[in-house]
Amino acid sequence: MNAPNSLRTQPDERGHFGDFGGRYVAETLMPLVLDLEREYRAAKADPAFHAEFDDLLEHYVGRPSPLYFAPRLTAELGGAQVWFKRDELNHTGAHKINNCIGQILLAIRMGKKKIIAETGAGQHGVATATVCARFGLPCTIFMGARDIERQQPNVFRMRLLGADVRAVESGARTLKDAMNEALRHWVANVHDTFYIIGTAAGPHPYPELVRDFQSVIGREARAQMLARTGRLPDLLVAAIGGGSNAIGLFHPFLDDSDVKMLGVEAAGYGLDAEHAASLAGGSPGILHGNKTYLLQDEDGQITEGHSISAGLDYPGIGPEHAWLKDIGRVDYTSVTDAEALDAFQLLCRTEGIIPALEPSHAIAAVAKVAPTMDKSAIILANLCGRGDKDIFTVAEALGVEM
Amino acid sequence: MNRFSSAFSKPSPALVTFVTAGDGPTDAILDALVAGGADVIELGMPFTDPMADGPAIQSANLRSLGAGTTTADVLRIATDFRARHPEVPLVLMGYANPMVRRGAEWFAAACAQAGVDGVICVDMPPEEDDGLGVALRSAGVAPIRLATPTTDAARLPAVLDGAQGFLYYVSVAGITGLQQASQQSIADAVAALKQATDLPVAVGFGIRTPEQAAAVAEVADGVVVGSAIVEIVGAQGANAPVHVRDYVASLKSAIAASRK
């Protein structure tokens, strides 16, 4: 039960997190978005829905993911104990699958026959193609043509899983354009098509339902940490593109006032150059169905994000993070490409874990903050994806020919 | 009588034409629209992410932004249009973010100052319109709402609440400029909308030939044509005005003949 002054009761009935969120979509989509909300309310109250979700997470995804104390990284950093929530051990190698399981169960419940999704790095596309194969639903993935060039292994994975991967040639040909194209396709196919959005953003109820499905991360971690150490962590750390792994970790702890939280955006080449840090370098605006912090110019034109991590270079951020920043409950920082690359190698070397470039941003932030904390303190970071997909990018950045 | 009432009380249904601001020689193109017989002008505000638009208007947005068009330019185009054409209703059409960037009140005041009669904000449904809609109405600018094939009877009152100017019926569930709806579905939808509102109902999406325009004019108060005009601008560039004028004139005469 949440207390009346709980931070865990957002959004309001119109989908607003404070000033953020909402449902800024074309009229054609409004009835469907309202339908989805009704259906999600019913599913949320249905024990059978939860039972099927939990069963798939346990036996198909491989949950609960371990909570792991990183001894050599902790020793190397010389400060707080560093623990990881090992969501990179999930089926498909990242946290994205948690949300896809929940959404495809909703799609089936609503009688939808086709699935669409957008993807940037390809992780959400792979997770969506996976659940579509598992449930036998046709799947179309919209992916920027430039991202397709950068992420060939994931494109091949999606095709192996039976997905139709559509190259998006409009705009800058990256994630935001893929999302535009998915919305365009959805508008023309609302009668039979469900759109599985990959992050805790978009029109209400997506930010709420994606958060709820991803909150399994934080619920497990909270119980595991209490069981292992008898206490809660002092600091949670997670990387943020749209923010789904971070909100999934943070949300179950929001009312634990002694637990501090740090969200880590992608600073790309630096905050004074090209980056993808919407909170640090952006301002409030409206895009893709919600009001949130955006990278934009003085006229409200959206600017391109850059990060070495294709999963983080989105010019917006989930609206709940925008709210948590404004009320000061969560601190947000940013990490450059170069710092993330160092952290990537640090974890490989000290713990024998190859992290994705997305959580490498979180690890870089941990590496900065852990030495400043007491050795009795506990940091819990979300290791939200594994790095197999990124080895070509990292090799290129390090000047290694493969 | 405001400009909308005049435009929609002529003997023939109104011809509503769209062009993207800053794509090609916009001032001359606007004059060509009027010369060809357009009764209402929709001036598109370019946006980097026009997610409800098809390829033609997407390209027009990118061409305009590529040419450096700013919000100030759009307002300047509107102001100059109003000075040249005191009687023709002018609507700004676009997406929420460029409209509310400096605040809804700022935008509403700028529209009023520029002589803009109405605003269509594609991704601002009535559920979120307590900012922009209120500001526009207080500034004397009409918030023009969209109804679609997915807008059911239960939802229609919410769409109509606070709507002014005219009602824009988006005849297909889809993006701009592609397929057209069947005549019967348009006739049925317009009849249902007319039961619910006294506002004129204009129909758009996918209308490009004079024959299509004439058919829609049989059943609606207005016919909206956008992508076909924008395609002429894309193909003809600096030479677009004369071609736009001739094309619009062909639509206009077909509409004028439709109810004879």
Which residues of chain B make contact with A32, given a CB cutoff of 8 A? 150
CA distance A337 to chain B (A): 26
Annotated active-site residue B152? The verdict is no
The ranges assigned to domains in chain B are 2-258
CB-based burial label for A289 (10 Å; 0-12, 13-18, 19+):
buried
Question: CA A228 → CA A231, A249, A256, distances in Å?
Answer: 8, 17, 18
How far apart are the CA of B159 and the nearest CA of chain A, in angstroms?
9
Strand partners, B40: B16
pLDDT at B260: 52
- Binary contact (B98, A300; C-beta < 8 A): yes
Q: Do A285 and B97 touch (CB under 8 A)?
A: yes
pLDDT of residue B10: 93
Element (H, E) at A23: strand A20-24
The pLDDT tens digits of the residues spanning A176-234 come to: 999 999 999 998 898 899 999 999 999 999 999 999 999 999 999 999 999 999 999 99
Angle (CA) B130-B133-B134 rounded to 5° is 70
Residue A399's pLDDT is: 95
Q: Which amino acid is at A247?
A: I
What average pLDDT does range A378-399 have in this prediction? 95
Let me know: does B4 contact B89? Beta carbons within 8 Å. yes
CA A371-A376-A381 angle, 5° bins? 65
pLDDT of residue A3: 59
Lookup: tokens for B97: 């973010």
Contact A30 B155 (CB under 8 A): yes
Q: With 90 as the cut, is the pLDDT of residue A49 above it?
A: yes
Domain B2-258, what fold? TIM Barrel (3.20.20)
Q: How far apart are CA A321 and CA A314, in angstroms?
A: 14
Angle among Cα A157, A161, A162 to the nearest 5 degrees reads 120
Chain B nearest C-alpha distance from A319 (Å): 15
Instruction: For residue B207, give Cα distances in angstroms to B39, B181, B258.
Output: 16, 9, 15
- Euclidean distance between CA atoms B71 and B81, whole angstroms: 15
Q: What is the DSSP letter of A386?
A: B
Q: Is residue B60 a contact partner of residue B230, using CB atoms and an 8 Å limit? A: yes
Cα dihedral B54→B60→B63→B64 (10° resolution): -130
Q: What is the DSSP letter of B20?
A: E
Quickly state the pLDDT bin for A2 (edges 50, 70, 90).
low
Query: What is the pLDDT, as a whole number, of residue B174?
Result: 83
The residue annotated as part of the active site, out of B39, B53, B129, B221, is B53
Give φ, ψ of A296 to 5 degrees.
-155, 160
Model pLDDT, residue A149? 86
Find out whether the peptide bond into A205 is cis, omega within 30 degrees of 0.
yes
Number of H helices, E strands in chain A: 16, 14
pLDDT at A1 over 60: no
Q: How many CB atoms lie within 10 A of CB A163?
A: 26
Q: Is A259 on the interface with B (CB under 8 A)?
A: no
Q: Mark yes or no for CB contact B149/A28 under 8 Å.
A: yes
Which of A32, A289, A299 is the closest to B150 by Cβ? A32
* Residue A341 distance to chain B (closest CA, Å): 31
Q: What is the pLDDT along chain B (260 residues), one digit of tens a residue?
A: 589 999 999 999 999 999 999 999 999 999 999 999 999 999 999 999 999 999 999 999 999 999 999 999 999 999 999 999 999 999 999 999 999 999 999 999 999 999 999 999 999 999 999 999 999 999 999 999 999 999 999 999 999 999 999 999 999 888 887 777 889 999 999 999 999 999 999 999 989 999 999 999 999 999 999 999 999 999 999 999 999 999 999 999 999 998 75
* All residues at 6 or more sequence positions from A106 whose CB lies less than 8 Å from its CB, including other chains: A36, A39, A40, A43, A194, A209
Contact B49 A176 (CB under 8 A): yes
* Tens-digit pLDDT profile for residues A9-35: 999 999 999 999 999 999 999 999 999
Residues of chain A with C-beta less than 8 angstroms from the C-beta of B97 = 285-287, 294, 296, 300, 302
Arithmetic mean of pLDDT, A289-302: 97
pTM passes above 0.80? yes
Q: Mutation target for A interface from B20, B45, B49, B151: give the one with most A CBs within 10 A.
A: B49
Pick from A31, A299, A301: CB nearest B150: A31
- Contacts for A75 with CB less than 8 Å, ≥ 6 apart: none
CB contact under 8 A, B150 and A30: yes
For residue A60, pLDDT over 60 is answered with: yes
CA angle B99-B102-B108, nearest 5°?
55
Which residues of chain B are within 8 Å of residue A301 when distances are taken between CB atoms?
47-48, 65, 98
Q: How many CB atoms lie within 10 A of CB A306?
A: 20
* CA count, 13 A, side-chain hemisphere, A99: 32
C-alpha–C-alpha distance, residues A265 and A307, integer Å: 10
User: Distance between the two ends of chain A, CA-based, in angstroms?
Assistant: 54
| A-to-B residue pairs, Cβ atoms closer than 8 angstroms | 113
Contact between A34 and A27 (Cβ < 8 Å): no
The helix/strand/coil state of B242 is helix
Point out the residue among B50, B53, B125 whose CB comes nearest to the CB of A25.
Answer: B125
What is the rounded CA–CA span in Å between residue A309 and residue A312?
Answer: 6
Query: Phi, psi at residue B108, to the nearest 5°?
Result: -60, -45
Nearest-by-Cβ selection for A188 from B147, B159, B174: B174
Neighbours of B191 (CB within 10 A): 12
Alpha-carbon span A357 to A340, nearest angstrom:
7
- Considering CB atoms only, which of B49, B122, B148 is closest to A180? B49
Q: Using a CB–CB cutoff of 8 Å, tell me whether A13 touches chain B.
A: no
Alpha helices (runs of H) in A189-272, residue ranges in sequence order: 206-214, 216-229, 244-250
Task: Provide the 3-class DSSP secondary structure of residue A114.
Answer: strand
Cis bond upstream, residue A64 (ω within 30): yes
Structure tokens at A330: 């969560």
Distance (Å) from the C-alpha of residue A150 to the closest C-alpha of chain B? 22
Is B39 annotated as catalytic? no
Please, is A68 exposed, middle or buried when counting C-beta atoms within 10 Å of its C-beta (0-12, 13-18, 19+)? middle
Q: What is the mean pLDDT of residues A144-172?
A: 92
Tokens matching residue A104: 């495809």
| Catalytic residue of the set B42, B117, B129, B231 | B42
